[in-house]
């Protein structure tokens, strides 16, 4: 028993030392991980700052036309988002379901209910168009047709409003880029004429590089403008086709009901 006590004490000391060494090792790993994360964040911030600085330098080096093209891009982007919100969100409606609700009222000869359904969706062009036809349901067929045609013609400009401006901005951005390139080349050749022979090649290369930036930036703005135009234009065409189809359907329903009343 006496000889076993010192051995146990040595084992206890060894275990305690192992625990302390492990704790110190884990603390070093945690500290190293924290420092690594801080370094990574600093590198990301520095990289982002450098990219922003390079972008600003590129715009400044491109000259006056780069700022004009940038202004065009901001206006075009604002126009695109405004039209997209109008066509995709404000005019979002289950057209088929709303139309079928109106037809069901008419099948029950409930003109008042059909008109109330149109009033309920009057924020959408469909409600206003179909309502104009229902209000003329007791008139001649020609009057019903004319009323809905006039209503459709009033609604089409609202659906298509300002979409064509995107193609205009695309053309303006492209032409401004070309114009900036021409002015840049003129400036570069003037600089070559007044420079020494050793510096001419370097000055000419730098001048052409800067001049091409305006063309590239103009195309960068123009291509999304054209894509946005086709997207919004197709959406507008789809809505107008739906309006014309449902207006024709309502016209046929009303005229058929009139014929049935005359026969009976």
pTM greater than 0.85 (yes/no): no
For residues 51-60, average pLDDT: 61
Contact indicator for 142, 255 with CB cutoff of 8 Å: no
> 156: which residues sit within 8 A by CB, 6+ positions away?
240
Q: How far apart are CA 245 and CA 146, in angstroms?
A: 15
Provide the domain limits for residue 171.
63-88+164-238
pLDDT tens, position by position, 181-211? 888 888 777 777 666 666 777 777 777 777 7
Mean of per-residue pLDDT scores for the chain: 81
Same domain, 84 and 177: yes
Find where tokens 């400009």 sit: 157
Indicate the pLDDT class of residue 58, thresholds 50, 70 and 90. Answer: low
Residue 93 pLDDT exceeds 80:
yes
- Give 124's Cβ-side CA count (13 Å radius): 22
Total domain count for the chain?
3
Same domain, 14 and 25: yes
Classify residue 124 by burial, with Cβ atoms within 10 Å: 0-12, 13-18, 19+. buried
Same domain, 230 and 169: yes
């Amino acid at each position: 028993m006496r000889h076993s006590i010192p051995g146990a004490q040595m084992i206890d000391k060894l275990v305690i030392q192992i625990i302390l060494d492990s704790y110190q090792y884990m603390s070093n790993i945690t500290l190293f991980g924290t420092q690594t994360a801080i370094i990574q964040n600093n590198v990301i911030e520095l990289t982002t700052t450098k990219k922003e600085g390079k972008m600003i330098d590129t715009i400044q080096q491109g000259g006056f036309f780069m700022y004009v093209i940038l202004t065009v891009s901001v206006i075009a982007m604002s126009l695109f988002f405004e039209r997209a919100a109008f066509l995709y969100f404000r005019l979002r409606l289950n057209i088929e379901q709303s139309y079928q609700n109106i037809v069901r009222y008419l099948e029950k000869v409930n003109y008042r209910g059909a008109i109330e359904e149109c009033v309920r969706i009057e924020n959408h062009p469909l409600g206003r168009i179909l309502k104009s036809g229902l209000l003329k349901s007791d008139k001649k067929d020609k009057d019903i047709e004319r009323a809905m045609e006039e209503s459709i013609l009033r609604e089409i400009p609202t659906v298509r409003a300002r979409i064509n401006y995107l193609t205009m901005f695309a053309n303006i951005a492209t032409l401004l880029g070309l114009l900036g390139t021409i002015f840049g080349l003129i400036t570069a050749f003037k600089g070559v004429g007044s420079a020494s022979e050793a510096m001419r090649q370097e000055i000419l290369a730098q001048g052409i590089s800067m001049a091409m930036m305006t063309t590239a930036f103009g195309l960068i703005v123009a291509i999304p403008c054209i894509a946005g135009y086709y997207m919004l234009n197709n959406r507008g065409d789809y809505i107008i086709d739906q309006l014309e189809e449902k207006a024709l359907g309502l016209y046929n329903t009303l005229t058929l009901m009139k014929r049935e009343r005359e026969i009976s």
